[in-house]
Each structure stands twice: as structure tokens, then as C-alpha cells.
Amino acid sequence: MAKSVAEVLHLVNFQAERRVLAEMLADAAFAAEATEKLLDETCFYEEANQLLFSAIGSLQGGFELVDADTVMSEARHLWVGKKDFPVSSGYVDDLPEPTGAGVTNAALLRKLRWLRQAGEYAVWLSTEIQKNPNIDSLFTDAQSMWSKLSPKVGNNGFTYAWDTFPEYEAQLAKAKERTTVPGGSFTWPWKSWNDKVRPLQNGMIGLISMADGQGKSTAMEQIAEHWAKQNLHVVVVHLEDMPDYKYNRRMARWSGVPIDRLEDGTLTQQDEVAIKEANEKNLEWAGLYLHYYHAPGLSAQDIIRELERRAAEGLCQSVIIDYYDKLGISATQSRTFRGDGAQWLREADNVEQFKIFAERTGVPLMGATQGNASMYDASQRHGRGNIGGSKKKSHKSQLVIVGSREIVPAGGMYNRDGKLVAEPDEYSPITKWVIDKQNRGKTGSISQWLVAGRFMFVDMQT
């Protein structure tokens, strides 16, 4: 049989389609996620795979055991009235063994589906242009067709009175489930934080502020990794650091290999072993749930548009913004906010846009921002008043945590064993976090130790 254009252009992956189906049959939780959030039948190119996906989806939530026999039976039921049943005998039994990579393969199928649709759009547009069309009409049609290629988030925010009670019952059930099922909530990487800071809930915004170079990106990276370990999709939006630097920091944290050797490639045999072990240990969650979005110079509007696409795909369940102060200016902001105070108005607008995104999609968001110059004096208590720029950043956040580190005095800092850990005039590794705002809990403070060479905060030993 002759190959289709999509096959010739390698815009089809039959093996990935079969692997997703195999994973759905083996893992009921993944099957529910795939049918409800990740995929629809158009993500599958082969008709047999489309039908089997629909059959598995229609069996979700039923009382029948979802296995090869029930899926084939449901597929035949869905095909009633049509000719040439597309699923051959034994096709389901011959699906490959599940590997746990269902989410990865699902993401591949979405990309291929988009490319096929984009290719059809390109053919249509090139054909219409040659017909000497009416420009206004062609522009309207082209815009309409192109918009269909972007996933949409559908929620108009309106809830009928009679729907609020079953929704609240479901909310309570979900909260109770979090107490009995490990993982799946937006807690913190450290016991000291979990003892005093409530987990973020869907649609909430948290804020971390520190002076420049004090470790706020490190804290944000650890929070992102902790959420990903809970099997929650995290998008780390980094507006400053290049991806290779982010990955080196991550590996230094995981493996203990110094970043200078990672950057220079001067790795010892022990380093190679440590890197391999770190990858093997963390690939299961980091390779599926920890996503990065390098967005230097992009505006809040640009970034939110991308996050909405990922949320619609089911691949954005939480967001890390590192950090607000580096956001670019959109054309709308440039026209709207002028003159004195324009910078502060733009900053307030940025946070407002992210807050609206979080509330509309139900995605919790943790942002970071610079502290002003007063934060370098860590002998004083710092709070929201020491945050640089617009105060709206803290006003619109349900949680605000401010960190600071003192300058090491003459004589240096030594540990209990008499080992020098910080020289005079260095910043102390002891970090004081002030919980300055917490709408759902108390304020207070936490002390932690920054292991600078490992890019990680750890709790103080008692």
C-alpha cells in the first residue's frame, strides 16, 4: 500500500500510538488522564488506533474490567452500522509491553497531530493564495483556521447555584484523598516549611523575594523539583538563565559534582558514575513532569499564551516564574502605561495577568522577585516593605516569603567541628526566611542552610 503524505514526511508514529494504547490498558489512572486531558482520537493517525482509544475512553468509569476482550467488544459496539471493521483479530493482544512512558508518547502524538494539521493548513493557504482571492475574506478564513490549531482553555467562570453543592462535595473528597494517598499536592521540599507554611492550592499565587544573588532561584528550582516528584506537571519559566546553566545547576544538586567540572567537562570517573546514578534516580519523575520554558525578553502576555496551551494539553499543573523583574514589555503595556510610574504599573499588570491565569486554569503559581537594597542588611527583619518595585506583587499573592543572609563578620564562620564554612565578608550560608504574609496560616520565620556549591537549601540540624 502506498504511503500517505503524512507518513512520507514522518508525521506519523505508529509505534508511539500503540504504546499509548498499551499503557492505557495497563494503567487505569493514565487511561483516565489520557482520555480526559492529554489526548483525543485525532491524535491517532491510524483508524484502528482511533477506534481503540475511543473504546477505552467509553469504558472509563464503568463496572467492566478494561482488558483486551472488553475493549474489542466496545470497539465493535462503537462501529455498528459502518463497514470494514478496522481492528484485525489479535491486534490488541499484540500491543507492546507497557514501559511507563505513556505521558511522553502522548506528548509526541499531540505534536505530530499539530504538525499534520499545520501541514494541511499550509497546503490550503498556498492553494487559496493562487486564486487571487479577496484579501479581507482570505484573512478572516485564515485567522479562523489558524486559531483552531491552538488548544483552548474553556471555562467561563459561571456556576449555577445547584452545582455548587456537588462541586463542594467533590472538593472535600479530593482534600480527604490527599491525606490518604501519597503525593499529588503542592507541599514544600523541606520539613521546616511544611511545619509552618500551608501548601498552595489550585489557582493560588505565592511569592519569594530576596536580594540579588542570595538564592531565590535555588529555592524556586527545589520547589519545582519537589512538585514534579509528586507526579504534578511543572513548568519552570526562566527569564534569565540559559537552559544549559539550569541543567548544570540541577546536576550539581543531584549528583554533588561541582559545577565547574560540569561546565568545563573535566569529569573524573567518580563524577561520571555520580551523574549516571543521579539520572537513573530522577529520570522517572524529572523526565516526565519537570518542564522548562526559556523566555528571555517575553512579556507576561506572551508567556501566559504558551502556558494556556500547555494547560490545555494537561502538561501545566503548576508554574514557577523566575523571576517577575525580568519580564518584557508587551505592545499593549507600552501604549497603556506611560510617564512617571509606568514601570510600577506594568509590574502590577504583569502579576494581575498571572493571577487571572492561575485562577482561570486552577494552576498554582510561585513567583520570585528582587528585594530592594535594604535587604543586604540582614540584621533587620525584612518583609513586604523591602520588596523592590511595585507593591502589587505582594498584594496579589496569598503567600509572601522574604529571605535574607547576613555578612560573615571578621574571624569567619566555623561549624561544630571547627571547620571554616564561610570567610569574612562572605554571605553567611544561614538563611532567614520570614513568612510575612499567609492568608491561610500564621506568619513567622524559618532558618535554613544554603549549600551554595550544590545549589540547594537544607534544614538546619537540631
pLDDT of residue 248: 86
pLDDT of residue 7: 79
Instruction: Tell me: pLDDT of 461 over 60.
Output: yes
Instruction: Tell me: pLDDT of 318 over 90.
Output: yes
pLDDT-derived band of residue 417, with 50, 70 and 90 as boundaries?
confident
Instruction: Tell me: pLDDT of 161 over 80.
Output: no
Instruction: Tell me: pLDDT of 177 over 60.
Output: no
pLDDT-derived band of residue 462, with 50, 70 and 90 as boundaries?
very low
pLDDT of residue 61: 65
Among 175-179, 322-326, 414-418, the range of highest mean pLDDT? 322-326
pLDDT of residue 377: 65
Top-confidence residue, 165 or 462: 165
The pTM of the full predicted model, rounded to 2 decimals, is 0.62
Which three-class secondary structure string do you get for the chain?
Answer: CCCCHHHHCCCCCHHHHHHHHHHHHHCHHHHHHHHHHHCCHHHCCCHHHHHHHHHHHHHCCCCCCCCHHHHHHHHHHHCCCCCCCCCCCCCCCCCCCCCCCHHHHHHHHHHHHHHHHHHHHHHHHHHHHCCCCCHHHHHHHHHHHHHCCCCCCCCCCCCCHHHHHHHHHHHHHHHHHHHHCCCCCECCCCHHHHHHCCCECCCCEEEEEECCCCCHHHHHHHHHHHHHHCCCCEEEEECCCCHHHHHHHHHHHHHCCCHHHHHHCCCCHHHHHHHHHHHHHHHHHHHHHEEEEECCCCEHHHHHHHHHHHHHHCCCCEEEEECHHHCECCHHHHHHCCCCCHHHHHHHHHHHHHHHHHHHHCCCEEEEEEECHHHHCCCCCCCHHHECCCCHHHHCCCEEEEEEEEECCCCCEECCCCCEEECCCCEEEEEEEEEEEECCCCCEEEEEEEEHHHCEEEECCC
pLDDT of residue 319: 95
User: For 409-434, what is the mean pLDDT?
Assistant: 81
Of the candidate ranges 20-29, 32-41, 44-53, the one whose mean pLDDT is the lowest: 32-41
Instruction: Tell me: pLDDT of 181 over 80.
Output: no
pLDDT of residue 64: 61
Instruction: Tell me: pLDDT of 164 over 70.
Output: no
pLDDT tens digits, one per residue of 367-411: 988 876 666 666 677 766 667 666 777 788 889 998 888 888 887
Instruction: List, in order of start, the domains of the chain with CATH numbers.
Output: 5-114 (1.10.860.10), 183-396 (3.40.50.300)
pLDDT tens digits, one per residue of 240-286: 888 888 888 888 998 898 888 888 888 899 988 998 898 888 888 88
What share of the chain in percent tops pLDDT 90? 18
pLDDT tens digits, one per residue of 324-367: 888 888 888 888 878 777 888 888 888 888 998 898 888 999 99
pLDDT tens digits, one per residue of 191-241: 999 999 999 988 899 999 888 888 889 999 999 999 999 888 999 999 888
User: For 298-313, what is the mean pLDDT?
Assistant: 86
pLDDT of residue 458: 92
pLDDT-derived band of residue 15, with 50, 70 and 90 as boundaries?
very high
pLDDT-derived band of residue 174, with 50, 70 and 90 as boundaries?
low
pLDDT of residue 183: 42
The chain-wide mean pLDDT, for the chain, equals 83
Top-confidence residue, 349 or 166: 349
pLDDT-derived band of residue 179, with 50, 70 and 90 as boundaries?
very low
pLDDT of residue 50: 92
Of the candidate ranges 153-167, 233-247, 308-322, 390-404, the one whose mean pLDDT is the lowest: 153-167
